[in-house]
A and B are shown apart, each in its own frame.
Chain A
Amino acid sequence: MLNNFLMFYAPFIVLIGSLVLAFVVAPKDDAVRRQIDEEE
């Protein structure tokens, strides 16, 4: 039962989840902006 879920449904959940996470995380660039400011 668990294996069936992992084989047939979970791959798409992980795929879509990682896409959503990529869009959530992408705009968060405070760390690199701070790094740029410090180097200047």
Chain B
Amino acid sequence: MGNEEAVFFSRVLTETTLSFHIIYATIGVGVPLMIMIAQWVGIKKNDEHYILLARRWARGFIITVAVGVVTGTAIGLQLSLLWPNFMELAGNVIALPLFMETFAFFFEAIFLGIYLYTWDRFENQKKHLLLLIPVAIGASFSAVFITMVNAFMNAPRGFDIVNGELININPLVAMFNPAMPTKVAHVVVTAYMTAAFVLAAIAAFRLLKGSNHEYHKKALYLTMKIGLIFAIATAVIGDFSGKYLAEYQPEKLAAAEWHFETEGNAPLIMYGVLDDGEVKYAIKIPYALSILAHSIPSAEVIGLDQFPEDEIPPLYIHYLFDIMVTIGVWMVLLAAVFWIGTKRRWKMVTTRWFRWLIVLGGPLSIIAIEAGWWLAEVGRQPWVLRKIMRTQDAATTSGHVDTMLVLFCLLYLILGIGSVVILRRMFRKNPVEQEIEDRNMEKGGDML
């Protein structure tokens, strides 16, 4: 295997691992918050349905955490094995956030164990809920610290380069780089949003499959409301990300928007195809790119004409941007219609077709975060560390990356199928109606 092949397979393997891991990581960050909200509402309203929601979500959450740990470990392993030159150059700088990510995970895992084993041990549910706070904080801060590493790759700061080595390292400056605020906030709110919409999809699916229990209706209403709030927050922070990109990574913004010429009054291009360098069938929204980039309709936006050809990211990232934005807008509309419709007693929101749309929203949200991550990673190319190290120079020269790719794909296949089978069995063997009945009997019939 030549070096080019090693680079190619290293990229494919890393992309495969991240694409798989991001599903479990996103759910792992978002679900603890959803559990916390459900339990809090249950305590506040003295409603056991919400408490049961928290219990059942917590059970499913353990499976996703277990898979997330395996895939997260795989990423750590692959960083060193597939990208040794990058780790040699930047390892000292990113070591602090990487270690802090691990500590955040331990923090989450320890309290998750205590939380799970102390259900029904506290007479006062509020004390039990307190145990969930470190779980939610640990999960979210895992995402914060690992995203700081990714932000550093986009906007490296906090060192001097002398003879190709990074010296005078200041890890805090590296962590709090210009890409950090928009990236971290965007990743965290999208995790909350995706978790809410995935849980909403499950509730809607149960209602469609014949269970008309009020438990599922409350779950659906709660998750769609929370999903709407975080979907709007995602869109707002996405706008801030546009401003960051215009200032610090203009080539990424220009490639994502197919903005070839530097100009003012720049339109935003949605959809379309690229045919021999010409944009066809696109929707052009006047001034929108200038507003997105600088908040001013007449502002000049740097185009791809300002960059050497070998520093321009692949232009297919425009399609990823379209997918991400379209799904985001769709989910905001769907959740808003559901919320308003439930308040105003619209029959439409209880129809089968509308519930199927909500079911579809779960996988769509996951596709949106996949598209977002691909946009972020491919949009940084050709750099692994922007303007310092190219991806092709960072990769291993080992001749066995293709074998590793096959083995890891097998592992992900087993983990993916295994986790779905376990989750299905876990909840099928213990349906909501049965669990409510069992808990009623335990509490002498006065629970609900």
A and B held together in a complex: yes
Chain A interface residues toward B at CB < 8 A: 2-3, 6-12, 14-15, 17-19, 21-23, 25-27, 29, 31-32, 34-36, 38-39
- Measured CB to CB, the nearest residue on chain B to A16 is B185
Any A CB within 8 A of the CB of B145: no
Query: In this assembly, does B243 line the interface, its C-beta being within 8 Å of a C-beta of chain A?
Result: yes
Interface bin, chain B: 35 or more
Contact mask for chain B residues 123-134; partner A; CB cutoff 8 A; 1 contact, 0 none: 000000000000
- Name the B residues within 8 Å of A39 (CB-CB): 212
Residues from chain A with a CB closer than 8 A to the CB of B230 are 18, 22
Tell me which of B217, B240, B345 contacts A11 (CB under 8 A). Answer: B240
- A3-B295, A27-B44 known; A22 vs B343 contact (CB < 8 Å): no
* A26-B295 contact, Cβ under 8 Å, with A31-B342, A35-B345: no
B332 → chain A closest CB, angstroms: 13
Q: A3-B295, A7-B181, A10-B240 are in contact. Are A29 and B221 (CB under 8 A)?
A: yes
Q: CB within 8 Å of A: which of B196-250? A: 212, 214, 217-218, 220-222, 225-226, 229-230, 232-233, 236-237, 239-240, 243-244, 247
Q: What is the minimal beta-carbon distance from B168 to any residue of chain A, in angstroms?
A: 23
Sample (8) of A-B pairs whose CB atoms are under 8 Å apart: A6-B243, A7-B178, A11-B181, A14-B236, A18-B232, A19-B192, A22-B37, A27-B45
Partner of B189, one of A15, A31, A36: A15
B259 within 8 A of A: no
- Among A3, A14, A35, point to the contact of B217 (Cβ < 8 A): A35
Decide yes or no whether B252 CB sits under 8 A from chain A: no
In the assembled complex, how far is the CB of residue A18 from the closest CB belonging to chain B, in whole angstroms?
A: 4
Q: Is B350 part of the contact surface with A, judged by Cβ < 8 Å? A: yes
Residues of B within 8 A of A22 (CB): 33, 37, 192, 226, 229-230
In angstroms, Cα B185 to Cα A11, docked, is 6
Q: Which residues of B contact A (CB under 8 A)?
A: 33, 37, 40-41, 44-45, 178, 181-182, 184-186, 188-189, 192, 212, 214, 217-218, 220-222, 225-226, 229-230, 232-233, 236-237, 239-240, 243-244, 247, 294-295, 342-343, 345, 350
Having A14-B236, A32-B342, A35-B342, one finds 15 other A-B pairs with CB under 8 Å, namely A3-B243, A3-B247, A6-B240, A7-B243, A11-B237, A14-B189, A15-B233, A21-B229, A22-B33, A22-B229, A25-B226, A31-B342, A32-B221, A34-B345, A36-B217
* One of A18, A26, A35 near B37 (C-beta < 8 A): A26
- In the complex, the chain A residue whose C-beta lies closest to that of B185 is A11
State in angstroms the CA–CA spacing of A39 and B236 once bound together: 37
Quick one: given A21-B229, A32-B218, A35-B345, are A6 and B41 in contact (CB under 8 Å)?
A: no
Q: How far is the CB of B322 from chain A (nearest CB, A)?
A: 23
Question: In the complex the two chains form, is B182's CB within 8 Å of A15's CB?
Answer: no
Whether A25 and B181, one on each chain, are in contact in the complex, defined by CB atoms closer than 8 angstroms, is no
Cα A31 to Cα B247 in complex, Å, equals: 45
Of chain B, the residue at the smallest CB distance from A28 is B225
Q: B212: which A residues are within 8 A, CB to CB?
A: 39
Which residues does chain B contribute within 8 Å of A14, judged by CB atoms?
A: 185, 189, 233, 236-237, 240
**A contact residues around B178 at 8 Å (CB):** 7-8
A21 — nearest CB in chain B belongs to which residue?
B229
Closest to A11 in B: B185
Assess A26 versus B185: contact at CB under 8 Å? Given A7-B247, A31-B342: no
CA distance A24 to B221 in the complex (A): 14
- Chain A residue nearest to B182 in the complex (CB): A11
A19–B247 alpha-carbon span in the complex (Å): 28
Q: How far is the CB of A22 from chain B (nearest CB, A)?
A: 5
**Contact A12 to B181, CB < 8 A, known contacts A23-B37, A26-B225, A32-B221:** yes
Is the Cβ of A15 less than 8 Å from the Cβ of B45? no
Set of chain A residues within 8 Å of B184, measured between Cβ atoms:
11
Compute how far the CA of A18 lies from the CA of B181 in the bound complex, rounded to whole angstroms: 15
Nearest-neighbor residue (CB-CB) of A9 within chain B: B181
Q: A11-B186, A31-B343, A35-B345 in contact; A25/B229 too (CB < 8 A)?
A: yes
Is the beta-carbon distance between A35 and B233 smaller than 8 angstroms?
A: no
Give the docked Cα–Cα distance between A26 and B38 (Å): 8
Nearest A residue to B226 by beta-carbon distance? A22
